[in-house]
Amino acid sequence: MESLGILGGGQLGRFFTISAQKMGYSVIVFDPDDKSPAGKIANKHICKPYDDLDALDELKDSCRSVTTEFENIPAETLRYLEKHIIVRPSSETVSIAQNRIKEKDFLKRCGMPVGNYVVIDTIESINNLDSNKVLIFPGILKTAKFGYDGKGQINVNNKVELEAAFIAFNSVPCTLELKLDLDGEFSVVLARSIDGQFIAYPVIQNHHEVGILDVSFVSGIDSEGEQSTCIPLAKKVANELNYIGVMAVEFFMSQGNLFVNEIAPRPHNSGHFSIDACVYNQFDQQVLTLTGNKPRNEEMQFPKSAMLNILGDLWFREGRLIEPKFEMISGPGVILHLYGKNEPRKGRKMGHITVLGLGGETGKEILQRVEELRKILWEN
């Protein structure tokens, strides 16, 4: 049985493992956490740090190709593996996506609309900042590396707050971005094969709460014209990167203008609807493109779908640890996914619920259903 490797053993790695095993592959998960959700179901779990060369040798000797589930894997780890086996996406691509400065510069270079930003890497760069010339306040200071789910971000309204935030981040390189007045957020999840074959799922509408994805909705219908604008932009980004694998591009809509926010070189939380709504989900596409195959049909079997994230916060109601009553989550088209994480923590993604439109429902009705389910979880 051919083996596939994945660096990172969180929920994205777990869904990849399920897809790969379904297609007959054996999966080796590489993750330093001995309780990782993917490690628990993998055929083999190499539980070592990402810079452990002996462990990486073990991985390269036991599989032909490797992918990643998150962009914070050290690019050097991918570079090392790339010398011996197939690594998709490439270390080059991951090194761009894991550094906001490189990422913004890249997006600008390939002609993407990006919001105002400047690089803040020294106190001088703050002193030299001429906020009369660049509209940058109110802004968000974001660490260039290791940010996710809104972590590594501080809102700043002026230079004094900016300096304090920069120092709070130990003066690591950052981007300072203009905080946009958001009318909406969207994402495109796409897959691209080695010969440039491309598919994209319908544009996903996203709602975040304090920097973390809360609800996603897919109608598959181009009511606002996002399909025709976002998908070609996402395709251009993938082509410019000569991307092989699954990728997500996040967009902001602000005062009628569309901006590219960031790219994720992997399946994306907002693409989880595809697990239940599509014949081939985003993790199937990850396996297909990793193994040199074409991506497959991205069509939705269910025309409308919404997803509600379940965060660890749900366990901490009324100031004590309460196990949620997941048995109450049921109904036609309602599907609960739990990731098998050992310990709930605030802000930690523990699972999600998909609500499928089985026919005839309006988007509003599906989103109302999501809110009813949220209420059931929080009030019981």
Site for Mg ion in 246-305 (CB under 5 A): 250
Q: Taking a C-beta distance cutoff of 8 angstroms, is the pair 335, 369 a contact? A: no
Binding residue count for Mg ion, defined by CB under 5 A = 1
Nearest residue (CB) to ligand ADP, 52 versus 214 = 214
The interface with ligand ADP within residues 123-182 (CB under 6 A) comprises 140, 147-150, 177, 179-180, 182
103 binds, among ligand ADP, Mg ion, none (CB under 5 to 8 A by kind): none
What's the min distance (Å) between Cβ of 348 and ligand ADP? 14
Applying CB under 6 A, among 69, 226, 262, 276 the residue interacting with ligand ADP is 262
Report which residue's Cβ sits closest to Mg ion: 250
Among 115, 202, 220, 351, the residue binding ligand ADP under the rule CB under 6 A is 115
Closest distance to ligand ADP from the beta carbon of 22 (Å):
29
For Mg ion, the closer CB: 19 or 95 = 95
Of the candidates 349, 341, 345, 371, the one whose C-alpha atom is nearest the C-alpha of residue 268 is: 349
List the one residue out of 188, 196, 203, 201 whose CA is nearest residue 289.
196
**184 contacts ligand ADP (rule: CB under 6 A):** no
SS3 152: coil
What are the CA-CA distances from residue 162 to residues 119, 139, 144, 173, 211 (Å)? 12, 9, 15, 13, 19
| Selected range binding Mg ion among 9-17, 182-190, 243-251, 353-361, rule: CB under 5 A | 243-251
What does 202 bind: Mg ion, ligand ADP, none (CB cut-off 5 to 8 Å by kind)? Answer: none
3-state helix, strand, coil in the chain (%, to 5): 30, 25, 40
- The torsion region of residue 195 among left (phi > 0), alpha (psi -120 to 50) and beta comes to alpha
Q: Which residues lie closer than 8 Å to 285 by C-beta, 6 or more apart? A: 191, 199, 246, 267, 295, 296, 298
- Least distance (Å) between residue 9 CB and ligand ADP: 20
- Extract long-range pairs of 103-106: CB within 8 Å, 24+ residues apart: 103/262, 103/263, 104/175, 106/240
| Candidate residues 69, 103, 185, 226; the one interacting with ligand ADP per rule CB under 6 A | 185
The single-letter DSSP state of residue 367 is: H
Q: Specify whether the CB–CB gap between 126 and 163 falls below 8 A.
A: yes
Number of residues located near ligand ADP, criterion CB under 6 A = 16
Q: Is 250 in the site for ligand ADP (CB under 6 A)?
A: yes
Q: Where do contacts with ligand ADP occur on this chain (CB under 6 A)?
A: 115, 140, 147-150, 177, 179-180, 182, 185, 208, 211, 250, 261-262
Would you tell me which residues interact with Mg ion (CB under 5 A)? 250
